[in-house]
Amino acid sequence: MPGVLNRDDLIRSDGHFYNCPSCGQRVDQRDLRQVFYHEEPGHEPLEPEPEPEQEPEPEREATILKFTRSSK
C-alpha cells in the first residue's frame, strides 16, 4: 500500500536551512558535508559542488496498445 504525504510542512524545505554565523552562507542541514564544514571556526564560504553531468535519455519508440471490448 503506497503512503500518502499529508503534511505541507514536510514538502517545504525552509526548515532545513540556517545561515552560518561565521560566514553567513545558507547551510542545508540535510547535507552533512555542509554542516561539518561550517562547524570549523574562521572558515570561508563553501564552494558549491558542480552539478553532475547527466547523459541524455535515449529516444524511445512509442508503443500504442489497442484494447477492444468483448461483448458478453
| Residue 5 domain flag | no
| Residue 69 domain flag | no
Cα separation, 28 vs 54, whole angstroms: 23
| Residues of the domain holding 26 | 10-39
| Residue 56 domain flag | no
Query: What one-character-per-residue DSSP string does 47-66 give?
Result: PPPPPPP-PPPPP-------
Total domains in the chain come to 1
Check pLDDT > 60 for residue 11.
no
Hey, how many other C-beta atoms are within 10 angstroms of the C-beta on 34?
A: 19
What per-residue confidence (pLDDT) applies to 57? 79
| Residue 17 domain flag | yes
What per-residue confidence (pLDDT) applies to 32? 94
| Residue 21 domain flag | yes
Residue pLDDT, tens place only, 18-63: 999 999 999 999 999 999 999 999 999 999 877 778 887 778 887 8
| Residue 71 domain flag | no
| Residue 57 domain flag | no
